[in-house]
Amino acid sequence: MKKIIFPKSLKKGDKIAVISPAGAVEASQLEKGLEMIKNKGFEPVLGEHLYSKFSNGYNYAGTEQERIKDINWALNDNQISAIWASRGGYGCQHLVEHLNLKNFTKNPKWYIGYSDNTVIQSYLLKKGFASIHGQTIKTSSFGVTDESYNLTFDILKGKAPKYSLKPHQFDKKGNIEGELIGGNLALIYALLGTKYSFDFKDKILFIEDIGENFYALDRMIMSLELAGVFNKISGLIIGGMTNMGDEKENKSYEESFDEFAYQLISDRVLKYKFPVAFGFPNGHIKDNRPLIIGGNVKMKIGDKVKVEF
């Protein structure tokens, strides 16, 4: 079994690259996040194409070549100690075949992001490196808590997170320990059958998503089932399922843990023996608390739910 490499902890004054590997972003959307990095004692270094825009059926943060250039700079520049994605959206799949880890392997650094960044995190884990599935720099429409950012900085400084959650009616009790994988369900689904897909064997899988119709959610879960994922994993954690169902319903972002989405998932995994925890505070939600992809996690699900790295 490959030993997962954790990047070294950051110290005051270290540089954090901020890049846009997927969707376009406005400078005003990053002001608070960049100021926060400075206030924590670190130096944000902006990617050359952080605010670039390229429209090709979607508003990307620059052309594929521009985004590839920025991410490879951030991965390999020895003056950079961590990489923080400005946002997700769509576009990371364009980059994955062109990633260069020549210097990164000698000087691993934390990559922070979620949503579409799941693609980059799957790639890094395949190469043996942990990353942080946590809030991006962009100020989201559903807001961001200071606590979620503080917990991410804790990880950057070498402190592993521990979470205690309320039990959920769909939980499946049990205790399990193993390597955490996963992220955004749509991207886990999109990578199935490719060489960039997660290795699911004996892993604890985390999933979250936003804005999917219920039939699309069921289709993705069915694809995981047909691919044998649920026969391989040892545990499952479900985070935010935000603004799910018919978009015409105009659901509020406050409905972050959609009960019908949870019911659909619960129905599909009920026959499997692994423990399941619903309602983890990570995803396209306000209280987006970080997880370590590639980290060893202990999960206890009973009258109380504990998730500890």
d(CA 224, CA 53): 34
Active site residue 179: no
Determine contact, residues 185/160, Cβ cutoff 8 Å: no
What values do phi and psi take at 27, rounded to 5? -60, -40
Q: Is 133 a catalytic residue?
A: no
Q: How many beta carbons lie within 10 A of that of residue 273, not counting itself? A: 9
Strand stretches in the chain, DSSP E = 15-19, 43-46, 54-55, 59-60, 80-85, 110-113, 131-133, 162-165, 174-184, 204-210, 235-242, 276-278, 291-293, 296-301, 305-308
Is 117 strand, coil or helix? helix
Residues 158, 181 contacting (CB under 8 angstroms): no
Beta bridge partners of 54: 60
Q: Which of 86, 133, 208, 256 is catalytic?
A: 208
Q: Which of 81, 86, 115, 131 is catalytic?
A: 115
**Residue at token pair 């959920």:** 168
Tell me the HSE value of 305 on the side-chain side, using a 13 A CA sphere. 19
* Measured distance CA(69)–CA(98) in Å, rounded: 9
284 a catalytic residue: yes
Residues acting as catalytic residues: 115, 208, 284
